[in-house]
A and B are shown apart, each in its own frame.
Chain A
Amino acid sequence: MKVKIDTRPLPVVIASRWWRFPVYLLLGYGLYHFYQSPPPEGLSLEGFRALVVFLACLVLWVFHLLPLPITGLFSLIAPVLMGVMPAKQAFSFFGSEPVFFILGVFILAAALLKSGLSTRIALLLLRSAGHSPKRLLLQIMAASALLSFVMSEHAVAAMMFPLILVITRTLQFIPYGGSYGRLLFLAMAWGCIIGGIATMLGGGRVPLAVGMLQEAGQETITFLQWTSAVLPVVLITFLAGYLVLTRFYTIDVDSVANADDLITTKLRECGRPLLEEKFLALLVVGAIVGWTLWGNRFGMATISILVVVLLFMFRVVEWKDLEENVDWGIILMYGGAIGLSTILNSTGAGLWLVKTQVLPHLGSPWLLVSLLSLVSLLLTEALSNSAVVAILVPLGLSIAPTVGIDPKIIVYTVASAAGLGYALPISTPAMALAFSGGYFRIKDIVLPALLMDLISWLALMATARLWWPLLGIRI
């Protein structure tokens, strides 16, 4: 980090640093005001207050007034303070199954990183580009996407980032100094983003949305069901992403022989796979099989925590490795968001909101799905994709029964679209890392990102129209 002195006029500095405090005060006053107010007709007092808490959390999430995990925690205590429910009940929502599933997935990703297995796989996938810049680009994108099938996308990005940085430097690209350097970072980021929606392991979004579905008393979505539903979107957007990148940016390098040599050298440095790596690979495969075959019977979280226990039984990781590599904050955020969603449903607040505010404007289930996916795609460019899920899924789940569609469709629609933010560093850690490489600015990718948003939306709609009916998912 580098020290910088903000030399703008002091009132401007104060306004930019302390603008949150008046907003906190307003928010506090708002909560107090509504606490004193009677509920609107047709809504219980608890439901009204739950709705107020939801709106407060919405403001906190959207404007990043607090870190996401802290807003998650706030969403657990606010209903208690507002008298919606006793503390015991509110805090019990944190202990939901999806939170433990996510915990297990994060620990597994940390083990993959720590053991070096993920790096080995990445290097194997990058090997033999045949000196072709286009092929190296495709390999980077594919490696990032494939690894994001089994690890959370931000872990993949964190692992790939130093590799890409070394490759760009080996090819003697300096920041903002050439188009190909920019392409490599974007290929990494977009690969992670697109691959991250393919399975439930690509990030916390899908488990979060599925958790909300479960807590709403609906049948869960299994590992296989999710992947089979969104795979066409992944394939279409991956192909489109590669084409958009190579059409929009020129490849200003003839050969990547140096990068090939570097990858070969690094792979050689990895040596032979250790016993721990082999065991870990076996566990990952076992976990995927377990989630697919017995996810419904034993619960996804049970299998993921069992995998964690096995990791420790065979000493593949140490606890201190997890302390460094697991994003504990996001787990807090998910626990809070799932709890809030449950509170909205159990108090009838969500249903009231939909009946009075949304339904009068919605004509058909297709309109709902189209709108939800479009809003998710656009919101995820400006918000953390987990925040988008936390905001839109509870609303969608409330609307679904009244519009007459399967609530699972809401989860498929929102959770997949919310993962596809291609432009801004705030949308996903993968984009943030790509930006930090210093090879492109936001203005460099606005147009391609908007095009990708449009393609993704069309791909999702096409999949919903043509593919989902084959799987028995009908809108």
Chain B
Amino acid sequence: MNPAVLKLELMAYGIRPGEGLFQPLANPFGLVHLTLPEKLAVSIHLQERSPYSLHNRNNRFFLEKNGETIPVQWTPPLKAYEKKTSSGLAIKEILTVHGGLIAVHPKGPCRFGLSGLSCRYCGSTKALNEHPPFTKKDLVEAIEMVLEEKRCDFVNLSSGRVTSDDGGVEWLTPWVVELRKHLHILISLDLALPRSLEWIDKTYAIGVDALYYDLDFFNPDETRPATFQEQRDLHWKALEQAAKIFPAGAVLSHLVIGFEPLEETQKRIDLLIGKGVVPILVYFPPLDGSPLSSRWKITPQEIQGLYARLFEKLTQTGLNPHWVQQRDVILTPLEGRFLSDQPARYPLALQNFYETSLGRIVTLGLASLRRHLRVREVPAP
């Protein structure tokens, strides 16, 4: 079975626990970490009605669907989640790890978290409101504990929903500074749109390596506010400016598939790539019981063409797909190669190099050097 299709199906339908499994099977956020054929990592929710079940026989894990078996590898949840910082906070209350990315939501639960569900990106839940907010020191300690157990190249900080002019950068700046001070790691920010473009310059200057300005949806409908068009124009300007400032491929934007016609999403993919922005297609069928589940229409088979197109467009432009890091919760643009006929020799070789220790040192070194060269201080007008 095509590993990319399998990954999409698993993300859509989840898995049922079968026999012989270890406990705990899932991480504290309910995600089971598997590695599919061709080394495709995926983190999946448990769903009672899923056609896929996970089994373990003689320490060999496999998925079963309609009698067909697919060998997979199961990765136990990080032990670090159960550890505590010196102030007594559990690591799972501070961060979530997605492949090589440590996701943090310092302001408390995100919108998904507030809805009562566990966010598949930042891991935040409503429960985050029930303990004291963590400090920068807590975060550094938590990340250090994770890094002792697992290699991670990125920390992603989310600003949450903010309405200030800066898009949340100002509030996150001390966090970035603290991380830069103690850790040699790439930092990305998930931000709201800034009203003034100079905040994008500041974002890069404080030590941020990659940036998410999420577009999520494009096609305005009755659920969109009246100012949507205006916001979208601002969004384009911000994305264009960010693409000029950040390294090629380091400006990213999530596009949620399934809430609008696929042609619309395809147009936006082309538009974003044309502006130097890497779209991250988010195929997140709402969990059972979610208020949005009734609106969901798209099946994994229908969206394969989108991923293929994304991969092909991206390899044509030369944007570096390595900056996409949440590999286990999305089908990355590079993984779209399994759905395309186009060869992926060069980006794959680059990706493999980045995975090595030398590749990590080179990436971090080049990111620092680039910032050193590009950031200038000029007298204020």
Contacts from A to B (Cβ < 8 Å): 1-7, 10, 13-14, 17, 175, 436, 438
Q: From residue 214 to 251 of chain B, which have CB atoms closer than 8 A to chain A? A: 244-245
Would you call B378 and A2 a contact (CB within 8 A)?
Answer: yes
User: Which listed residue (A4, A10, A436) contacts B376, Cβ 8 A?
Assistant: A4
* B204 part of interface (Cβ distance < 8 Å): yes
Interface 9-mer from B21-29, B35-43, B92-100, B367-375: B367-375
* B201 part of interface (Cβ distance < 8 Å): yes
Would you call A5 and B375 a contact (CB within 8 A)?
Answer: yes
User: Which listed residue (A3, A10, A14, A175) contacts B375, Cβ 8 A?
Assistant: A3
Residues on B with beta carbons closer than 8 Å to the beta carbon of A436: 379
Would you call A10 and B244 a contact (CB within 8 A)?
Answer: no
In angstroms, how far is the closest chain A Cβ from the Cβ of B68?
50
Closest residue to B200 on the A side, CB-wise? A5
CB pairs A–B below 8 angstroms (18 shown): A1-B379, A2-B379, A3-B198, A3-B377, A3-B378, A4-B201, A4-B376, A5-B204, A5-B245, A5-B374, A6-B374, A7-B244, A7-B245, A10-B370, A13-B373, A14-B373, A175-B381, A438-B381
Residues on A with beta carbons closer than 8 Å to the beta carbon of B374: 5-7, 13
Would you call A4 and B377 a contact (CB within 8 A)?
Answer: yes
CB within 8 Å for A3 and B202 given contacts A436-B379, A438-B381: yes
* B380 part of interface (Cβ distance < 8 Å): yes
Q: How far is the CA of A2 from the CA of B202 in the complex (A)?
A: 9
Q: How far is the CA of A66 from the CA of B204 in the complex (A)?
A: 28
* B205 part of interface (Cβ distance < 8 Å): yes
In angstroms, how far is the closest chain B Cβ from the Cβ of A135?
31
In angstroms, how far is the closest chain A Cβ from the Cβ of B358?
21
User: Which listed residue (B204, B244, B377) contacts A2, Cβ 8 A?
Assistant: B377
Q: How far is the CA of A14 from the CA of B372 in the complex (A)?
A: 10
In angstroms, how far is the closest chain A Cβ from the Cβ of B170?
13
Closest residue to B245 on the A side, CB-wise? A5
Would you call B373 and A3 a contact (CB within 8 A)?
Answer: no
Closest residue to A7 on the B side, CB-wise? B244
Tell me if B's interface is mostly helix, strand, loop or mixed.
helix
Residues on A with beta carbons closer than 8 Å to the beta carbon of B245: 5, 7
Closest residue to A175 on the B side, CB-wise? B381
Would you call B373 and A17 a contact (CB within 8 A)?
Answer: yes
Contacts from B to A (Cβ < 8 Å): 198, 201-202, 204-205, 244-245, 370, 373-381
Q: How far is the CA of A66 from the CA of B169 in the complex (A)?
A: 36
Q: How far is the CA of A6 from the CA of B371 in the complex (A)?
A: 10
CB within 8 Å for A3 and B379 given contacts A13-B373, A13-B374, A17-B373: no
Q: How far is the CA of A175 from the CA of B378 in the complex (A)?
A: 17
Residues on A with beta carbons closer than 8 Å to the beta carbon of B376: 3-6
In angstroms, how far is the closest chain A Cβ from the Cβ of B341?
34
Q: How far is the CA of A17 from the CA of B198 in the complex (A)?
A: 23
Residues on B with beta carbons closer than 8 Å to the beta carbon of A14: 373
Q: How far is the CA of A7 from the CA of B370 in the complex (A)?
A: 11
Q: How far is the CA of A237 from the CA of B244 in the complex (A)?
A: 50
Q: How far is the CA of A4 from the CA of B380 in the complex (A)?
A: 10
Q: How far is the CA of A10 from the CA of B245 in the complex (A)?
A: 11
Q: How far is the CA of A14 from the CA of B370 in the complex (A)?
A: 9
Closest residue to A14 on the B side, CB-wise? B373
CB within 8 Å for A3 and B370 given contacts A436-B379, A438-B381: no
Residues on B with beta carbons closer than 8 Å to the beta carbon of A1: 377-380
Residues on B with beta carbons closer than 8 Å to the beta carbon of A6: 373-376
- Considering residues A3, A6, A10, A13, which has the most beta carbons from chain B within 10 angstroms of its beta carbon? A3
Q: How far is the CA of A17 from the CA of B370 in the complex (A)?
A: 12
In angstroms, how far is the closest chain B Cβ from the Cβ of A469?
48
CB within 8 Å for A5 and B201 given contacts A10-B373, A13-B374: yes
Q: How far is the CA of A13 from the CA of B369 in the complex (A)?
A: 12
In angstroms, how far is the closest chain B Cβ from the Cβ of A435?
10
Closest residue to A2 on the B side, CB-wise? B380
Would you call B381 and A3 a contact (CB within 8 A)?
Answer: no
Closest residue to A13 on the B side, CB-wise? B373
Q: How far is the CA of A10 from the CA of B201 in the complex (A)?
A: 17
CB within 8 Å for A3 and B244 given contacts A10-B373, A14-B373: no
Residues on B with beta carbons closer than 8 Å to the beta carbon of A5: 201, 204-205, 244-245, 374-376
Q: How far is the CA of A395 from the CA of B320 in the complex (A)?
A: 58
- Considering residues B201, B374, B379, B381, which has the most beta carbons from chain A within 10 angstroms of its beta carbon? B374
In angstroms, how far is the closest chain A Cβ from the Cβ of B167?
16
In angstroms, how far is the closest chain B Cβ from the Cβ of A14?
6
In angstroms, how far is the closest chain A Cβ from the Cβ of B240?
11
Residues on A with beta carbons closer than 8 Å to the beta carbon of B378: 1-4
In angstroms, how far is the closest chain B Cβ from the Cβ of A336?
28
Residues on A with beta carbons closer than 8 Å to the beta carbon of B202: 3
Q: A2-B198, A2-B378, A436-B379 are in contact. List 8 more A-B contacts (CB 8 A).
A: A1-B380, A3-B205, A3-B378, A4-B375, A5-B244, A6-B373, A7-B244, A10-B370
Q: How far is the CA of A1 from the CA of B244 in the complex (A)?
A: 22
Q: How far is the CA of A7 from the CA of B276 in the complex (A)?
A: 14
- Considering residues A2, A5, A7, A175, which has the most beta carbons from chain B within 10 angstroms of its beta carbon? A5
In angstroms, how far is the closest chain A Cβ from the Cβ of B88?
38
Closest residue to A1 on the B side, CB-wise? B377
Residues on A with beta carbons closer than 8 Å to the beta carbon of B373: 6, 10, 13-14, 17
Closest residue to A18 on the B side, CB-wise? B373
In angstroms, how far is the closest chain B Cβ from the Cβ of A158?
15
Q: How far is the CA of A3 from the CA of B206 in the complex (A)?
A: 10
Closest residue to B204 on the A side, CB-wise? A5
| Pairs of residues from A and B, 10 with the lowest C-beta to C-beta distance, nearest first | A3-B205, A2-B380, A1-B377, A5-B245, A4-B378, A5-B201, A6-B374, A4-B376, A7-B244, A13-B373
Residues on B with beta carbons closer than 8 Å to the beta carbon of A4: 201, 375-378
Residues on B with beta carbons closer than 8 Å to the beta carbon of A13: 373-374
In angstroms, how far is the closest chain A Cβ from the Cβ of B109?
32
Closest residue to A438 on the B side, CB-wise? B381
Residues on A with beta carbons closer than 8 Å to the beta carbon of B381: 2, 175, 438
Residues on A with beta carbons closer than 8 Å to the beta carbon of B380: 1-2
Q: How far is the CA of A53 from the CA of B202 in the complex (A)?
A: 43
In angstroms, how far is the closest chain A Cβ from the Cβ of B65?
49
Q: How far is the CA of A17 from the CA of B202 in the complex (A)?
A: 20
Q: How far is the CA of A169 from the CA of B324 in the complex (A)?
A: 51
Closest residue to B201 on the A side, CB-wise? A5
Q: How far is the CA of A443 from the CA of B226 in the complex (A)?
A: 48
Closest residue to B202 on the A side, CB-wise? A3
Q: How far is the CA of A7 from the CA of B378 in the complex (A)?
A: 14
Closest residue to B370 on the A side, CB-wise? A10
Q: How far is the CA of A7 from the CA of B198 in the complex (A)?
A: 13
Residues on A with beta carbons closer than 8 Å to the beta carbon of B375: 3-6
In angstroms, how far is the closest chain B Cβ from the Cβ of A10?
7
Q: How far is the CA of A135 from the CA of B381 in the complex (A)?
A: 30
In angstroms, how far is the closest chain A Cβ from the Cβ of B285?
39
Closest residue to B378 on the A side, CB-wise? A4
Q: How far is the CA of A436 from the CA of B380 in the complex (A)?
A: 10
Residues on B with beta carbons closer than 8 Å to the beta carbon of A17: 373
Q: How far is the CA of A13 from the CA of B370 in the complex (A)?
A: 10
In angstroms, how far is the closest chain B Cβ from the Cβ of A27?
23
